[in-house]
Amino acid sequence: MNYDKAYELARAIRESDEFRAYTSQKAKVENNPDARRMLEDFRKRQVDLEMRRLKGETISQEEMGQLQRLYETISLHDDIRQLFACEQRLILMMQDVQRIIAEPFEGLFGSQQT
């Protein structure tokens, strides 16, 4: 297989409006010490809860509520809110690309109906 098309896709992604907007907005947040600290704290708590969930631990409604309230609070910061919006657009693009790339493999690895 020739991987030129895959590299071309990677280059197109890096040059896309979604990718550029995300990296630009991420740099804004990283250059603002308060915004960076708030976002890092949120991401750490988010990952901690997800790791606990993956280990089979029960996450209480209170803990989920605290994370949701923290998300709402940091979303009041304009740079962070814009970063989340850029992140959502980038995630949607990645999902679309993944769906398109996976299409030829549908049915190849699943159980065969006879």
In a domain, 48, yes or no: yes
In a domain, 100, yes or no: no
Q: What distance in Å separates the CA atoms of residue 86 and residue 88, rounded to the nearest whole number?
A: 5
Residue partners of 17: CB distance under 8 A and separation at least 6: none
Q: What distance in Å separates the CA atoms of residue 45 and residue 65, rounded to the nearest whole number?
A: 12
What pLDDT digit, counting tens, does each position of 82-109 carry?
Answer: 999 999 999 999 999 999 999 999 888 7
Please state whether the predicted TM-score (pTM) of the whole model is above 0.85.
no
Count of beta carbons in the 10 Å neighbourhood of residue 90:
19
CATH number at residue 19: 1.20.1500
Residue, of 114 and 95, whose pLDDT is higher? 95
In a domain, 16, yes or no: yes
Task: Give the position of tokens 């998300």.
Answer: 71
In a domain, 99, yes or no: no
| Number of compact structural domains in the chain | 1
Per the CB < 8 A criterion, the answer to whether 21 and 86 are in contact is yes
Domain carrying residue 32: 4-94
In a domain, 105, yes or no: no
How many CA atoms lie less than 13 Å away from 78 in the CB half-sphere?
1
In a domain, 101, yes or no: no
**Tokens read off for 63:** 């803990």
In a domain, 72, yes or no: yes
In a domain, 83, yes or no: yes
What pLDDT digit, counting tens, does each position of 32-84 carry?
Answer: 999 999 999 999 999 999 999 999 999 999 999 999 999 999 999 999 999 99
Mean pLDDT of 5-34: 97
Burial 9-40 (b: 16+ CB within 10 A, else e): eeeeeeeeebbebbeebbebbeeeeebbebbe
